[in-house]
Structure 1
Amino acid sequence: MSELRFSLADVAGVRLAVSPVNETVLSMWALANPVRYPVHLPWIDRARMTLRRPEVAERVRPLVELTWRGCPLPDFVTPAARPNVELAEQLAQIAATPPAVVVQDLLATTPRRPLGPFGQALLADPRGLLPQLVDAVRVWYDEAIAPDWPRMRALLDADVAYRAAQLAESGAGRFFEQLHPSLRWRGDRVVGDDPFERDFDLRDRGLALNPTVFSERRVLWNLLEDSLPAAAYPVRALGTLWETAAPPPGDPLARVVGPGRAALLHLLETATTTTDLARLTAMSAGGVSQHLAALHAAGLVSRSRQGRHVLYRNTDAARVLLQASRGGDSIG
């Protein structure tokens, strides 16, 4: 069981952000144990082919060794992400980790599993070998994550928008209990039903919350004494990550408004962002925007703003069209 103690400043300092480094590092767990990550099989097949290339395998080896078979991660490898952080900034943060922190974090992983050859070498010479680990993360991102990053990023951004609205509407206590079934709010602390046995005072530093597509079961805490505390939590709607949407075969509505706009209407029974619609339909963001503009002008979709995001949703008129289309009524 983990307990995180909050002050008023900590509650006010809760931040949601997407972490490119988290997705890069945690993806190795899915690669090592695909049975536990069946939703990612389309990505795993491609990533394994990438890792078989000798020039990639050699440079990525330090990251593979530190993460393979679900090894506990040294905390410095997954630093807290602030809003709008870029990969290069996070890599610079890892590269600047003090040697004493590298050693401390590596030793914290050894009770459950001994370090491999690279981990032992890094323990002996953190300043000299840390650049190799940073390079491994960069190469793996470029080779295995970047091709699918727009799709992943859209899902993660949609989750951040949804959670930010929850936090604003429900307050911190209810927000944390909705974030994950294992979490409970107990007055001045979050209690997590997990095996980590952490008792941690945030000490007015706040908490960075980073959604991830590569943690399927629990919240992963990153609680360092000298940097921003963080937690990686499972993203919503993970099952949609590798899907593309299209109107049903023979859809009468597609014959009336066109297949692209029909696909959007079938998806807009729940409020959705442009980026998420682009991911789900495999259209360009520009194409989605053009279709949404036409549907909005026709009174078939509404739009509303939540923070930096604009959400689109079907109007009653669109719902009538969808119901008629699915029932095979007079449309078409």
Structure 2
Amino acid sequence: MSELRFNVADVAGVRLAVSPVNETVMSMWALASPIHYAVHLPWIDRARVTLRRPEVASRVRPLVELARPRCWLPDFLTPAARPNVEMAEQLEQIAATPPAVVVQDLLATTPRRPLGTFGQALLADPGGLLPQLVDAVRVWYDEAIAPDWPRMQALLDADVTYRAAQLAENGAGRFFEQLHPSLRWLGDRVVSDDPFERDFDLRGRGLALNPTVFSGRRVLWNLLEDSLPAGAYPVRAVGTLWEVTAPPPGDPLGRVIGPGRAVLLHRLDTAATTTDLARLTGMSAGNVSQHLAALHAAGLVNRSRQGRHVLYRNTEAAAVLLRASRGG
């Protein structure tokens, strides 16, 4: 069991953001233990093919060694994310980690299992070998995460929007208890039902919270004194991530509003961007934008801005139409 102690500044400093580097690093757990990540099997099958390519395997090996299943990650490898952070910025942050912090974070991961060959070498020469690790994360993102990032980001952004509204409407206590079943709020602290046994005072630094698609069992904490406090919690509706919802053959809704617009409505039960919808449907981004504009004008989709992205999602009126067309 872990406890995070808050003061007034910490409560005010709770912030939500999407971390592309978290998804890149934590995705290694799904590759290593697919039975525990069955929801991601469509991605795992593709990623394993990618990792078997020799030119990828050799460069990604440092990340594979450090992202070990059932072991802590070094905190510097999953830095606290700020809103709208880009992957390149997070890679620069990792590359700038002081050698002493690299060593401290590596040693903190060893209680259950000793470091492997690269981990031991990084421990001995953090300044010299850290660039290899940064390159490994960059390559894995480019090869395995970036092709699916619009889909992942749409789900993560939608969760941030939902949680931010909860925090604003209900306050910190109820927010944390709704964030995950393992969390309880005791007035000035969060108690986390986990095996980590941490007692940590945030000391006015606040807490960054990042939803993640690759952790489904508990909230994972970055709680070392030299790191910004952060937590990665399981995203809502992860089971929809790899779904491809298509209209049934002879869809009656398509005959009423047109097949292209019907296809989009069938996919907008979960929020998505124009780019994501174009990739999912095979339409051009311009065609998707035209359809979305018409659906929005008709009151069938809502749109909301998250940083540089605009998310679209069905309204209740669209849900009624879809239920009718599906025979429900």
Corresponding position of 2:109: 109
Q: C-alpha deviations, 1:202-248, integer Å up to 9, x for none?
A: 11111111111111111110113133211011111111111122112
Matched residues in 2 for 1:68 and 1:127: separation?
22
Unaligned runs of 5+ in 1: none
TM-aligned CA distance change 1:285 to 1:222, over 3 Å:
farther
Matched residues in 2 for 1:59 and 1:22: separation?
19
Unaligned runs of 5+ in 2: none
Corresponding position of 1:199: 199
Corresponding position of 1:278: 277
Matched residues in 1 for 2:207 and 2:154: separation?
23
Corresponding position of 1:9: 9
Q: C-alpha deviations, 1:278-318, integer Å up to 9, x for none?
A: 289535554443223212333x42636577666544354x5
Matched residues in 1 for 2:135 and 2:311: separation?
36
* 8 Å Cα contact 1:165/1:306 also seen in 2: no
| 1:70 counterpart SS class | coil
TM-aligned CA distance change 1:213 to 1:320, over 3 Å:
closer
| 1:244 counterpart SS class | coil
- What letter corresponds to residue 301 of structure 1 in structure 2? L
Corresponding position of 1:301: 300
| 2:221 counterpart SS class | strand
Q: C-alpha deviations, 1:36-58, integer Å up to 9, x for none?
A: 11111111111111111111111
TM-aligned CA distance change 1:133 to 1:91, over 3 Å:
same
Corresponding position of 1:189: 189
* 8 Å Cα contact 1:246/1:259 also seen in 2: no
* 8 Å Cα contact 1:219/1:234 also seen in 2: yes
* 8 Å Cα contact 2:150/2:275 also seen in 1: no
Matched residues in 1 for 2:173 and 2:279: separation?
32
Corresponding position of 1:314: 315
Matched residues in 2 for 1:306 and 1:165: separation?
14
Corresponding position of 1:20: 20
TM-aligned CA distance change 1:284 to 1:242, over 3 Å:
farther
* 8 Å Cα contact 1:50/1:144 also seen in 2: yes
Q: C-alpha deviations, 1:82-139, integer Å up to 9, x for none?
A: 1111112111111111111111111111110011111111111111111111111111
Give TM-score scaled by structure 1 length: 0.90
- What letter corresponds to residue 303 of structure 1 in structure 2? N
| 1:224 counterpart SS class | coil
Corresponding position of 1:59: 59
TM-aligned CA distance change 1:6 to 1:240, over 3 Å:
same
| 2:120 counterpart SS class | helix
| 1:184 counterpart SS class | strand
Matched residues in 1 for 2:265 and 2:52: separation?
42
Corresponding position of 1:36: 36
| 1:71 counterpart SS class | coil
- What letter corresponds to residue 277 of structure 2 in structure 1? A
- What letter corresponds to residue 234 of structure 1 in structure 2? P
* 8 Å Cα contact 1:27/1:214 also seen in 2: yes
Corresponding position of 1:74: 74
Matched residues in 1 for 2:16 and 2:306: separation?
12
Corresponding position of 1:45: 45
* 8 Å Cα contact 1:221/1:230 also seen in 2: yes
Instruction: State how many pairs are aligned.
Output: 325
Of residues 166-175 and 62-71 in structure 1, the stretch that sits farther from structure 2 once superposed is 62-71
TM-aligned CA distance change 1:54 to 1:255, over 3 Å:
same
TM-aligned CA distance change 1:164 to 1:285, over 3 Å:
farther
Per the TM alignment, residue 321 of structure 1 is displaced from its structure 2 partner at its CA by 4.2
Corresponding position of 2:261: 261
Bigger-Rg structure (1/2): 1
Give TM-score scaled by structure 2 length: 0.91
Matched residues in 2 for 1:40 and 1:209: separation?
22
Of residues 63-72 and 19-28 in structure 1, the stretch that sits farther from structure 2 once superposed is 63-72
Per the TM alignment, residue 274 of structure 1 is displaced from its structure 2 partner at its CA by 4.1
Corresponding position of 1:141: 141
TM-aligned CA distance change 1:120 to 1:167, over 3 Å:
same
* 8 Å Cα contact 1:263/1:281 also seen in 2: no
Of residues 281-290 and 46-55 in structure 1, the stretch that sits farther from structure 2 once superposed is 281-290
- What letter corresponds to residue 96 of structure 1 in structure 2? A
Q: C-alpha deviations, 1:171-224, integer Å up to 9, x for none?
A: 111111111111111101111111111111111111111111111111110113
Of residues 301-310 and 172-181 in structure 1, the stretch that sits farther from structure 2 once superposed is 301-310
**How many percent of aligned residue pairs carry the same amino acid?**
80
